Amino acid sequence: MEILPQVQEVLTYIQSVNVAHINDKVQASRARYERLIPLAGAQEAVFSVEDKTTRFPDREIGIRIYRPSGKKSLPAVVFFHGGGFFKGSLETHDRPLRQLANLSGVVIISVDYRLAPEYPFPHGLNDCIDTTEWIINHAAELNIDSHRIAVAGDSAGGALATSVAGKLDNIVCQVLIYPATDSSLTTPSWRALAEGPILTLKSAVELWDYYTEDKISAAPIFNNDLSGMPDAFIITAEYDPVRDEGIAYAEKLRHANVQVTEKRYPKMIHGFFQMGGVIDQGKEVIAAVADYIRYKLLR
């Protein structure tokens, strides 16, 4: 494995993060993840950024709306952040999503779904489905085009995004950035990269345990009815243990006659979508996602 200098810089930074003062393991992991925000680079200015609360009979879910311009009825991408289903927030993905809004020219809406283990599967997924449906139904109020809506997510967020895409009929496309699709953790890339970098087999077992006891229902790869799913853009990284499950899921979508575009980044690691302030490919992947979104939603 050839570790590029920029990747090594990221790994050194991550190793320097000290959360030893936090005794609770889950809270410590969440705090560590939040401290990786600077790896995304500077916080870009966006035409407007608005925090809003979506209200349901039994809960409230926060969203953050990034508008790249004052144009009316723009398309929108509903984004679900990664973090192993148990960490991550509107803040952890704020900087890459600002960049994505500016580059794509469409509205990006980030969803602050509830996290495991406090809210195990299917709570977080239901939050994502219900909030996306709310966004579609309130498109006029949000000044977006209800007929040009996509979903996207990274890692665990990729699993949530494709699950949402399978539940709602009017999603144009799905963007899955190194998605976590297989809870069995038995692919060749998991065997070869069990010690990481970034994501280890031990930590993956823990996060799936935090998330659910019903790992078959929660993992998209075990969904045997993918017919009618929207077109997909699936991104994988060479040095990422979830690489092969992303590739396998792409193939399963193709067998269901879904149009799939794939892009694999050589020598890249899990999480590089959030590391564009240090790793050049982190900027490149945001640009690639923006290109795909423009092609699907703005043509």
Q: What is the pLDDT of residues 37-65, one digit of tens each?
A: 999 999 999 999 999 999 999 999 999 99
**The pLDDT value given to residue 299:** 82
| CA distances for 281 relative to 163, 191, 286, angstroms | 27, 25, 9
Q: How far apart are CA 107 and CA 241, in angstroms?
A: 31
Number of other residues whose CB lies within 10 A of the CB of residue 117: 14
We report the CATH number of the domain holding residue 159 as 3.40.50.1820
Catalytic, 270? Answer: yes
Which of 84, 61, 296, 76 lies closest to 210, judged by CA?
84
Q: Catalytic residue among 81, 93, 123, 270, which?
A: 270
- Residue 46 forms part of a structural domain: no
**The pLDDT value given to residue 61:** 98
What are the φ/ψ torsions at residue 30 (nearest 5 degrees)?
-65, -45
Q: Catalytic residue among 29, 104, 155, 189, which?
A: 155
Number of other residues whose CB lies within 10 A of the CB of residue 106: 28
- Residue 253 forms part of a structural domain: yes
Q: How far apart are CA 223 and CA 213, in angstroms?
A: 17
When pLDDT is cut at 50, 70 and 90, the band that residue 110 belongs to is very high
Asked whether residue 155 carries a pLDDT value surpassing 90, the answer given is: yes
Count of domains forming the chain: 1
Catalytic, 189? Answer: no
Work out the average pLDDT over 71-99.
97
Would you say 208 and 121 are in contact if contact means Cβ atoms under 8 Å apart? no
- Residue 157 forms part of a structural domain: yes
**The pLDDT value given to residue 15:** 95
What are the φ/ψ torsions at residue 264 (nearest 5 degrees)?
-110, 135
pLDDT tens digits, one per residue of 209-241: 999 999 999 999 999 999 999 999 999 999 999
Give the dihedral sign, CA 129/185/83/238: negative
- Residue 187 forms part of a structural domain: yes
Residue with tokens 């302030």: 277
| CA distances for 1 relative to 7, 9, 13, 238, 267, angstroms | 12, 16, 19, 10, 8
Share of the chain above pLDDT 70, in %: 100
Would strands 107-112 and 74-80 be described as parallel, antiparallel, or unpaired?
A: parallel
Side chain identity at residue 21, one-letter code: H
Residue with tokens 């219900």: 130
- On average, the pLDDT of the chain sits at 97
Catalytic, 130? Answer: no
As beta bridge partners, residue 67 has: 48
What are the φ/ψ torsions at residue 47 (nearest 5 degrees)?
-50, -50
Work out the average pLDDT over 124-150.
97
- Residue 73 forms part of a structural domain: yes
Which of 140, 155, 142 lies closest to 96, judged by CA?
155
Helix or strand (DSSP H, E) at 190: helix 188-192
**The pLDDT value given to residue 270:** 98
**The pLDDT value given to residue 296:** 98
- Residue 9 forms part of a structural domain: yes
Q: Catalytic residue among 127, 182, 240, 244, which?
A: 240
- Residue 43 forms part of a structural domain: no
- Residue 136 forms part of a structural domain: yes
Q: How far apart are CA 252 and CA 263, in angstroms?
A: 16
Share of the chain above pLDDT 90, in %: 99
Range of the domain at 70: 5-37+60-297
When pLDDT is cut at 50, 70 and 90, the band that residue 2 belongs to is very high
- DSSP assigned state of 164: H
